[in-house]
Amino acid sequence: MSRYRPVKERISDFAPVELRLPAEEMAEELTHCQDCGVPFCHGMGCPLQNIIPEINIAALAGHWPAALALLLSTNPFPELTARICPALCEGSCVQALNTKPVPFRLVEWEVIEQGFDLGLMTPNPPSPHLPLRRSGLKAAIIGSGPAGLAAAWALNQGGITVTVYEKDAQAGGFLRYGIPDFKLEKQVLDRRIRLLEAEGIKFEYNVQAGVDISARLLRQRYDILVLAAGARKKRDLTVSGRELAGIHFATDYLSAQNRLLAGELAGLPPEYNARNRRVVVIGGGDTGSDCVGTAWRQGARAVYQFEIMPQPPSNRSANNLWPEWPRILRTSSSHEEGGVRRWNIDTSEFLPAASDKTRLGALNCTEVEWHMENGRLSQPKAKKNSKFIQEADMALLALGFSGVEENPLLTALGIPIEPTGRIPRDQRGRVSDKIYACGDAAMGASLAVRAIADGLAVAGTVLSDCREQTDPASLLHLPEICASGAAEQ
Ligand SMILES: Cc1cc2nc3c(=O)[nH]c(=O)nc-3n(C[C@H](O)[C@H](O)[C@H](O)COP(=O)(O)OP(=O)(O)OC[C@H]3O[C@@H](n4cnc5c(N)ncnc54)[C@H](O)[C@@H]3O)c2cc1C
């Protein structure tokens, strides 16, 4: 269904691997949408509640402006989700019961790019005309990942003057410095940031809130603070040999490559270059898969991806029925580019190279077995006689994130981090008086689409709180897109 550039061609560059569907194929796919009476794709699948059947109908008829208006009524940044969302909606598509789902992610992609192509995506700033007008209230958003951008967009639309503080050199969070360009080309992100700027949002880069601007100053300058700093505390693998050169966190590695492509680095630091190296990626998720694709493009000699969990089934298991998200084996475009994927592998030691005792030379690994105990997976047990040595010059740790990083801003604001690694907040996103939190920082590491939905929901809470607390004539407008104001816990 999806179309990709040929492997041989694409691994020699970092340009996007996926292509838009040709018009006839798109039309054919759209004819399969059944416009279900109860559209699970919309109600259960999509965290943004995209009005999928109606968008499909408008797209099939070629009514792009109508399809675009429907899409933008729930999703402020469809060009981002269209490229990187795992498409939770497709897992609950009725068509997926018997055949394949309607490829809504690709439909979304087509609709938003038609919108840009037709010149329909112009800045929409709060105008001097009611109801979109400035209220005089000011908000600072800490962090410019998808959650911070969504909150900034909605608050700005609501009439609040917004400044986004970002400690990195450019906006986007993990969308810019984590996800590789071959999945999300950064011009797409830049195009969106230009729109947000033209709508009146101010971005302050290279400013770490709590360090470069104090919590006190932020409180003085702004009526509202929204914490959208992400969940970036990396999980480590603290086994013997961890100190050896050649072992890196996946996000440091991916970030270096993305910064190089963005012109932020003059050259790739040699430690992050996989050229001619045997690379082992530890961790079987999306971040690991992004490392696989990046390593091939850098010219790796061999790439392995080891996951400690068992291999997922090819089809839904009995306890994972439609319309739930199918927990099945997924093969990404990076996996199709080559390498060895193994499951049930535990790494117990990093071993030095014979030629240089300070560098990684191999991994000591064991196959593990899992058993079900009371309906849950037990602790893994080493399989008899399964020890093996995997030679490697580079190991990339893609083991996920345990929560929010220690942060001087949180300390100064007196906000503790929960044992779960999250910023504590109530069900509507309130942390304390005039302070709110959204995205991964409050939910735990998740997906961009959830971060966007949460940013919108929390902006809804901010706007409704401000409306209650200020003069009713304060000109605050509650955009319908975030009217629910219910943040996830
Ligand atoms: C390698 C990788 C691949 C991924 N692939 C996908 C994918 O394909 N699809 C998908 O849906 N999701 C993917 N994700 C997950 C997704 O990127 C995150 O869930 C999402 O970015 C979270 O958004 P956020 O805004 O909450 O936080 P983040 O994106 O983490 O952004 C937080 C921002 O806050 C800034 N910040 C932190 N502290 C401060 C401070 N004190 N002052 C100023 N700025 C600060 C950070 O620099 C950062 O820019 C991936 C994640 C990674 C790491």
Query: What CATH number has the domain bearing residue 68?
Result: 1.10.1060.10
Q: Which of 84, 174, 222 to mutate to test the pocket of ligand 1 (most atoms within 8 A of CB)?
A: 174
pLDDT at 350 over 60: yes
Question: 451: Cβ below 6 Å to ligand 1?
Answer: yes
Question: Rounded to the nearest 5°, which phi and psi values hold at 133?
Answer: -145, 155
Sign of torsion over alpha carbons 20, 23, 28, 33 = positive
- If asked whether residues 222 and 246 sit together in one domain, one would say no
Question: 255: Cβ below 6 Å to ligand 1?
Answer: no
Sign of torsion over alpha carbons 349, 353, 359, 361 = negative
Query: Residue for token digits 């082992």?
Result: 280
pLDDT at 463 over 80: yes
Spatial distance between the Cα atoms of 108 and 113, rounded to a whole number of angstroms = 8
Domain count, the chain: 3
pLDDT-based confidence at residue 488 (cuts at 50, 70, 90) = very low
pLDDT at 489 over 60: no
The answer to whether the CB of 395 falls within 8 A of the CB of 282 is yes
pLDDT at 487 over 60: no
- If asked whether residues 326 and 373 sit together in one domain, one would say yes
Q: Of 18, 293, 272, which Cα lies nearest the Cα of 180?
A: 293
pLDDT at 486 over 60: no
The answer to whether the CB of 148 falls within 8 A of the CB of 473 is no
- If asked whether residues 146 and 81 sit together in one domain, one would say no
Query: Is residue 72 domain-resident?
Result: yes
Q: What is the mean pLDDT of residues 276-290?
A: 97
The answer to whether the CB of 165 falls within 8 A of the CB of 141 is yes
Question: 444: Cβ below 6 Å to ligand 1?
Answer: no
| Token couple for 310 | 């068992």
Tell which atom from ligand 1 comes closest to the C-alpha of 439.
26
Tell which atom from ligand 1 comes closest to the C-alpha of 168.
47
Question: Rounded to the nearest 5°, which phi and psi values hold at 341?
Answer: -105, 130
Backbone Cα Rg of the chain: 23
- If asked whether residues 373 and 252 sit together in one domain, one would say yes
The last residue of a domain, from among 350, 384, 399: 399
H or E stretch including 4?
Answer: strand 3-4
Planar angle of CA 114, 108, 40, nearest 5 degrees: 150
Query: Is residue 156 domain-resident?
Result: yes
Residue 149's CATH number: 3.50.50.60
In whole angstroms, how far apart are CA 405 and each of 57, 399, 402? Answer: 44, 15, 9
**71: domain range?**
3-117
- Stated pTM of the model: 0.96
For atom 8 of ligand 1, the residue with the nearest CA is 84
- If asked whether residues 390 and 408 sit together in one domain, one would say no
One-letter amino acid of 452: I
Question: 208: Cβ below 6 Å to ligand 1?
Answer: yes
Tell which atom from ligand 1 comes closest to the C-alpha of 449.
11
Q: Of 482, 453, 404, which Cα lies nearest the Cα of 142?
A: 404
pLDDT at 243 over 50: yes
* pLDDT tens-place string over residues 31-59: 999 999 999 999 899 999 999 999 999 99
Give the Å distance between the CA of 361 and the centre of ligand 1: 32
The answer to whether the CB of 284 falls within 8 A of the CB of 341 is yes
The answer to whether the CB of 152 falls within 8 A of the CB of 162 is yes
- If asked whether residues 157 and 102 sit together in one domain, one would say no
- If asked whether residues 469 and 339 sit together in one domain, one would say no
Query: Is residue 18 domain-resident?
Result: yes
Spatial distance between the Cα atoms of 97 and 122, rounded to a whole number of angstroms = 39
- If asked whether residues 271 and 409 sit together in one domain, one would say no
Spatial distance between the Cα atoms of 33 and 110, rounded to a whole number of angstroms = 16
Question: 165: Cβ below 6 Å to ligand 1?
Answer: yes
- If asked whether residues 96 and 50 sit together in one domain, one would say yes
* pLDDT tens-place string over residues 160-194: 999 999 999 999 999 999 999 999 999 999 999 99
* pLDDT tens-place string over residues 71-113: 999 999 999 999 999 999 999 999 999 889 999 999 999 999 9
Within a 13 Å sphere around the CA of 258, how many CA atoms are in the beta-carbon half?
A: 28
- Average pLDDT along the chain: 94
Query: Residue for token digits 């011009």?
Result: 187
In whole angstroms, how far apart are CA 133 and each of 153, 159, 225, 464, 478? Answer: 14, 5, 20, 16, 11
The answer to whether the CB of 146 falls within 8 A of the CB of 79 is no
- The three-class DSSP label of residue 270 is helix
In residues, how long is the chain?
Answer: 489
